Amino acid sequence: MTGIDEYAFDSCTALASVTFGKGLEWIWDDAFCGCSALTDITIPAGVTEIGENPFYHCAGLKEIHVDKDNAAFASQDGVLFDKALAELICCPGGRAGDYTVPDSVTAIAAGAFSGNTNLTGVTVPESVTSIGEGAFSGCEGLTVRGYAGSCAEAYAKENGIPFETIAQGPVKGDYNGDAAVTVADAVLLARFISEDTALTSEQIAAILNHEPDFDGDGIVTIRDVSEMLKQLGTSQPA
């Protein structure tokens, strides 16, 4: 046997563990669909092809492992990926709570999270530009989290999945935290550069956390203030 067909073990609810033979090369879609007693599984080194969510509705499956010598696939934190960790292939159905897709991922495979009723949230990074059909189908109670305008937001809206916007990262040059870069920020930076002792430690921390080296030349000088003002279309701090 070199492969496991679609629905080969469909609803084998008593199947508690599987040890694959060394010659196994492929596992097709839904091969272990509904095998609720499975708790973990190890994909052997020789497997080169895996279909769409072979572990669909495996509600007890906590971790998918991959033999370290497998050249096509990898596992991180119990989740199945391609070797480069660029495609998330399958998150086990017994995974509960919140999950954050790693920043290395650019694609979420069709059916990757399908049938998981234990997950409450999946955070999708901006690196993800493709989400396959039915990736979150049947995930009752799941909220997708992502950035405004991201692929995740478009996908969630299209498929009627609850979506939550996550806050954007620090805005470069926004030293007073009002989500905009204005002359007031340039004034703060100028005070920082002149070592104004009236600046609070919170103000100093905010400046340091929002790229005080505004022009990116490696040093923080009055030139950074000039550059900010230039970009703001003024030459004088008001």
Contact 65, 42 (CB under 8 A): yes
- Which member of 39, 215, 232, 237 binds Ca ion (CB under 5 A)? 215
Distance CA 139, CA 100 (A): 16
Region near Ca ion per CB under 5 A, out of 21-29, 61-69, 145-153, 211-219: 211-219
Task: Kindly state the tokens that stand for 74.
Answer: 């990898």
For position 213 contacting Ca ion by CB under 5 A, the verdict is yes
Task: Kindly state the tokens that stand for 70.
Answer: 């497998």
CB-nearer residue toward Ca ion: 164 or 217: 217
Distance CA 6, CA 163 (A): 32
Shortest reach from residue 135's CB to Ca ion, in Å: 37
For position 203 contacting Ca ion by CB under 5 A, the verdict is no
For position 208 contacting Ca ion by CB under 5 A, the verdict is no
Q: Using CB under 5 A, which residues numbered 11 to 40 contact Ca ion? A: none
CB-nearer residue toward Ca ion: 8 or 193: 193
Shortest reach from residue 209's CB to Ca ion, in Å: 13
Q: How many CB atoms lie within 10 A of CB 197?
A: 6
CB-nearer residue toward Ca ion: 84 or 180: 180
Task: Kindly state the tokens that stand for 73.
Answer: 């696939």
For position 226 contacting Ca ion by CB under 5 A, the verdict is no
Region near Ca ion per CB under 5 A, out of 23-31, 77-85, 190-198, 220-228: 220-228
Contact 66, 89 (CB under 8 A): no
Distance CA 219, CA 156 (A): 43
Residue with the two structure tokens 């499956």 = 61
* Total residues interacting with Ca ion, rule: CB under 5 A: 8
For position 224 contacting Ca ion by CB under 5 A, the verdict is yes
- Which member of 130, 164, 217, 230 binds Ca ion (CB under 5 A)? 217
Shortest reach from residue 214's CB to Ca ion, in Å: 6
What character string, x for contact with Ca ion (CB under 5 A) and - otherwise, covers 163-202?
Answer: -----------x-x-x------x-----------------
Task: Kindly state the tokens that stand for 113.
Answer: 């999270």
Shortest reach from residue 146's CB to Ca ion, in Å: 25
CB-nearer residue toward Ca ion: 10 or 211: 211
Could you write out the DSSP letters of every residue in 159-206? TT--EEEPPP-PPTT-TTSSSS--HHHHHHHHHHHTT-TTS-HHHHHH
Residue with the two structure tokens 């995930």 = 139
Shortest reach from residue 197's CB to Ca ion, in Å: 22
Strand partners, 76: 79
Strand partners, 27: 4, 50
Interface contacts to Ca ion, rule CB under 5 A: 174, 176, 178, 185, 213, 215, 217, 224
